[in-house]
Amino acid sequence: MARGFALYRRLIAAALALTAIVIVFGAYVRLSDAGLGCPDWPGCYGKLSPAHAAEHILDAHSADPGGPVSLSKAWKEMVHRYLAASLGLLIIVIAIMAWRIGPGPRVSLRVAVLLVGVVVFQGLLGKWTVTLLLKPAIVTAHLLGGLTTLALLAWLALRASGEVRLQAGGAGGTAPRLCMVARLGVVLLFAQIALGGWTSTNYAALACTDFPTCHGSLWPEADYANAFHVVRELGMTADGALLSNAALTAIHWSHRIGALVAGSVLFGLGAVLASRRGMQSLGVALSGGVLLQVSLGIANVWLSLPLGLAAAHNAGAALLVVVMVSINYKLASSPGRVRASLAAMAA
């Protein structure tokens, strides 16, 4: 059993690393306009690889040299699919091993099974991303699904490692309010990632090319009414008209406002944690990660979204997710203890 548990831990670590690679490489594929490099799913023109479909790809490229299909783009898209499929199989193996080992203080069968469900849904989102021609809602949901997978794997890894948790109200423990701020931080982080995904998938990253202003204003002209319709085609309003520059500005500016709100909360949380016993390293990592992510966002605007920096911005989001999961895991105490502590504070 001990050998089986050691393998279980190694598989979780491998899956965590592979998930990070899939997320960043997926961003690279999207940002290099290779998301439709193979216009069908799961194969490429019904073939196992672009090498087998080379004739179809070259014909499509010849017919539309500036279009989404080319041999290099097809390989980028298929490598991403191969990596994602490998991750899916690895997560299924982890769930099987969790079932064989059995639930315990360092194994969560429920989370492992939940991960399988998330990955299956991710596969469907990957399919719909291609077959529904990069609809912003689908692509953004695909990004959030990838980061949810990363968060759940990080939680499994922490539990399997036997990481010590701090209990609210105990000696050297944490205040219930700090636990609630940490949970709020996760909500704000995922909301900001959703705004970032919406900005990227609508190609609004360069709707504002100056900083800190946008078009020279701190409150630029923007069309919020059409910016956030969820069910619509790429580049179109819900009525089928072309999405205006004002709508793209609204998307971009909302992402900046979200960064200000979420970044302030997370940086403040990191500063507080950096002064608390047992949480110093995570606090420093959180504050440093926020500063890095903000710097990457500014650099992307100033340098007109270079591919490497844009992919690094996605990597920064993944890093913050892992840090916030680690913070919440370590701060976590049972809901009953939190309620009891809050009642004691109120009394």
Tell me if 216 sits within 8 A of 210, measured CB to CB: yes
**Rounded Cα distance, 132 and 139, in Å:** 10
Choose, from 55, 77, 163, 233, the residue flagged as catalytic: 77
Q: Angle formed by the axes of helices 136-161 and 307-331, to 10°? A: 40
**Rounded Cα distance, 251 and 194, in Å:** 11
How is residue 233 annotated by DSSP?
-
Q: Show the tokens assigned to 323.
A: 């840090």
**Catalytic residue flag (residue 77):** yes
Tell me if 281 sits within 8 A of 228, measured CB to CB: no
Phi/psi of residue 23, nearest 5 degrees: -65, -50
Burial 249-288 (b: 16+ CB within 10 A, else e): bbbbbbbbebbeebbebbbebbebbbebeebeebbebbbe
Question: Active-site positions?
Answer: 77
